[in-house]
Structure 1
Amino acid sequence: MTDVRDQFRPPNHPNDHFILTTVVGSYPKPKWLNRARDLYEGALDADVTFDEGNWEEAKADASRLITQEHERAGLDVVVDGEMRRNEMVEYFAHRITGYEFNGPVKVWGHNYFDKPSVVSEVAYDEQWLVDEFEFVDAAAERPVKVPITGPYTLANWSFNEHYDTEEDLSYALAELVNLEVEKLVEAGARYIQIDEPALATTPDDHAIVGECLELIAKNIPDDVRIGLHVCYGDYSRIYPEILDYPIDEFDVELCNGDYEQLDVFTEHEFTKDLALGVVDAHVAEVEPVSQIKENVKRGFEVVPPERLTVSPDCGLKLLPREVAYGKMENMVAATREVEAELDAGDVDLGAPARADD
């Protein structure tokens, strides 16, 4: 596992210790990109010709801009903020044979989700993310992570009108995700993040997610890092079961809950790498470096520094862009300061805490 992680260490890293910094995925889109989308979709009454070529160029410009913004913040592993994507299920459903859309569904408050239906056997019809990865990888000077919505969430957040059970649909989708992951690996991707927000809200199905991950991870080379992001829910319902998953890293949202659930991961020895949210994706204020440093150190209660990754709690797309950038910049600064303190022996690590000690 350490060898998989070391490939993401920058060659000019300033400290002996290395705590990997990254982001979960989504990031605020530039305002001009949203206007470009409206022009392309005809939502604006403007005497402007904005065709598909213009729209593709706008997305490419935004992808390059945000990738460079992530690098400017100092992140070790970057993404492009998912500039080409709209919503984490809808984007993939549009590219999978067997799905259809029948209009938006109200999910909470005044928020609507274009929830798709599975009306026939799902099939892999076109590549989903390979072009996106290749573009970002060419634009970036640092390693690139690829977030991809997992099969269980793709199934759980859709209407199943074809398969006998949601479990059957999940396994069918897992085979498709495996095909995409294999193509990403062939294209050079070495860090894949499977997003399964539905997992911790439907705890009885953790075995289904485990089987799906086994299908996804089959034939994936050992030098490819596989992470699982579960951004909210009751983690006690899925831990320690997730330790059996074929993943390198488990990514959790704990900052928003003031780390109240951190003890869950000390009840049994945590044998994976921990990706810990250290800034709150739901609060439109930039946390000071001093506060983020304390959050980073909370991770040492579960894993040693060489197995800790730090990131925001979740995607940052709902925040003002300047706030999102400030969080990333301070997160990196805090992490580098903690590494320097570790080098100097100023951090008392001890052994990771165990609730039954």
Structure 2
Amino acid sequence: MIQSHKKLKASLLVSAVLVVSLGAISPAPSAAASTSSSISATAFAVQTAIIQSSVRLRTAPSTSSNVLSYLSKGDVVTILEKTNNYFYKVRNADGEVGYTSSGTQYISLIPVPVTPTLQTALIQSSVRLRSAPSTSSKVLLYLSKDDVVTILEKTNDYFYKVRTAGGVVGYSSSMDQYIQLIPVKSEVPEITLPQPVPPVPEASPIATGIEDVIRVGMKYLGTPYEFGSSRSNSDTFDCSDFTRQIFLEGKQFQLPYDSRQQGDWIKGNSKAVMDVSSLKRGDLMFFMSYKGSTASAYAGIDKLAERITHVALYLGDGQMLHTYSVDSGGVKVDKLSASWMNRFLYGGSVIQ
């Protein structure tokens, strides 16, 4: 029952996220969308649908195929593809995958909600992040020059509500000398991919294996975040589930289940690298919890003994591939900001 509930939750969450893929579909105009919907097997954003009346779930897209189970009125399913003019390939709340009629008397697409585009901003000079939109409110931390924050709202003429790269939400001055909005180039956020690395000889199994792992990781861009996600599927990820999955798929190597165990594995089976500049593309990176916005807040810490709270995959050129919150959009490529650099403990190679 817990597993079924989790899968249903993940199915509903995915429907609200625009998945980064080869293409995407437009939101259905109504629940009565016909089988002429723009869903296709080649250009597809995952969408959910609601069953209108009892219908069979079959093993193949044919009325002569075996019946796996029956879908009941009110059931919610995930549409995996529009196989032909008569059948959808779907996954039900129990994770069972099969084919069902695409007739509107049996199934209706659930419109994808339009999510407002969040804007980012660049801090121009050191400024306080406060607990409320008032100069008399508590100071949570200080934002430093060149920090990038996400604008959640313009609260009034003097304050923005913002979220830092470390996930702290608060209020900051909206004055130009402290903060400048970063222009939105297009309606769909662009993902900054790492610059190509110099080619390596084909005979190098280490480099080939790492690139396979990175390719697997990049295919999951946009996959929703879920804390404590199941290690038995790839519908959602938390940070350590993601790194474990991409090494499992890309190199058939099974890392431990959580970030602290993965960090211990690196210390015991590889070499802990304390300096980011010494990391190689494909290395794991481990981070501690947020302690403050300045480097001095992290001074004197024994990094090898500190508790690990996050893991990411280093891509080179100051970029990392990871997932850390629902609000951040799931699996993504991030730049190593000052906040992340302050929290960095150590890294290391899985593939020797």
Same fold (TM over 0.5): no
Judging by fraction of residues, say which structure has more strand: 2
TM-score (norm: length of structure 2):
0.25
Looking at both structures, which has the greater relative contact order when contacts are Cα pairs under 8 Å and sequence separation is at least 6? 1
